[in-house]
């Protein structure tokens, strides 16, 4: 399929492709010597919206960008899912990570064997030179931005986005769940989460195995 004709799938990194929250919490404990505050999340603007000292937040996120990125574990089934999606979609990685982390981010994507066509570092995720068709993110603000440009929005389920209740937003608990949605979407039969949805192992038997 011509790359220009493929739908554009925008994919976030932290807590969507890679598990970042534990690293943010570890850095907080290391910097402060304190137990992580219950009910506060570092990701998806959690610390930015908290009463934690601004200088402390800056130190935590500076260290995250400098040292934590290589350690982030990949979420289960993420590599497989991207390889399946990349057969019919243009995969663009859109992250709010600071631009100076680009070399580390590219290395992380490469080390995990993740296919993608472009990488953007920006807080304004819809202000990029791409016509976004589908997007997956965990940040409530970014979900709204994608909806505003008419993209089909998928939210990667996290504690900080569970207040987002919208029948037009597809909520998945992992990449296996996204593949289930993708499979039923291709059949025109998706009606949201259902108990009779095939288990991922059954679904994957029906999908082409990426090289």
Both tokens of 10, joined, read 């925008």
Count of other CB atoms within 10 angstroms of residue 146: 23
Q: Note whether 158 and 62 are same-domain residues.
A: no
Average of per-residue pLDDT values in the chain: 88
Tracing tokens 């982390």 back to the chain, one arrives at 101
Q: Evaluate whether 133 touches 5 at the Cβ level (below 8 Å).
A: no
At residue 197 the predicted structure's pLDDT band, cuts being 50, 70 and 90, is very low
**Domain shared by 157 and 56, yes or no:** no
Are 170 and 81 in a shared domain? yes
Q: If you average pLDDT over residues 172-188, what whole number do you get?
A: 87
> Which of 25, 29, 26 shows the shortest CA–CA distance to 40?
25
In terms of domains, do 53 and 91 share one? no
pLDDT at residue 206 above 60? no
Q: Is 1 a residue whose pLDDT tops 60?
A: no
pLDDT at 69: 97
Mean pLDDT of 44-70: 92
What is the span of the domain harbouring residue 33?
21-71
Looking at the structure, do residues 44 and 62 belong to the same domain, yes or no?
yes
Report if residue 211 sits inside a domain: no
- Put the strands of the sheet holding 8-11 in their side by side order: 118-121, 90-95, 8-11, 132-137, 152-156, 170-172
- The total domain count for the chain is 2
- Structural domain contains residue 38: yes
Does residue 177 or residue 209 have the better pLDDT? 177
């Amino acid at each position: 399929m011509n790359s220009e004709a493929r739908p554009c799938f925008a994919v976030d990194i932290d807590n969507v492709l890679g598990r970042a929250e534990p690293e943010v919490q570890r850095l907080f404990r290391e910097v402060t010597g304190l137990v992580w505050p219950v009910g506060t999340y570092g990701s998806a603007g959690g610390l930015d919206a908290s009463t934690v000292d601004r200088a402390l937040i800056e130190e935590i996120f500076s260290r995250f960008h400098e040292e934590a990125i290589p350690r982030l574990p990949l979420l289960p089934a993420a590599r497989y899912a991207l390889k399946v999606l990349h057969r019919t979609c243009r995969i663009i990685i859109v992250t709010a990570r600071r631009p100076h982390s680009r070399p580390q981010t590219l290395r992380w994507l490469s080390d995990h064997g993740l296919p993608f066509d472009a990488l953007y570092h920006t807080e304004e995720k819809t202000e990029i030179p791409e016509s976004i068709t589908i997007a997956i993110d965990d940040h409530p603000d970014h979900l709204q931005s994608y909806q505003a440009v008419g993209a089909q929005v998928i939210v990667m389920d996290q504690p900080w986005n569970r207040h987002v209740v919208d029948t037009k937003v597809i909520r998945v608990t992992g990449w296996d769940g996204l593949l289930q949605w993708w499979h039923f979407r291709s059949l025109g039969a998706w009606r949201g989460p259902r108990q009779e949805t095939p288990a991922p192992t059954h679904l994957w038997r029906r999908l082409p195995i990426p090289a």
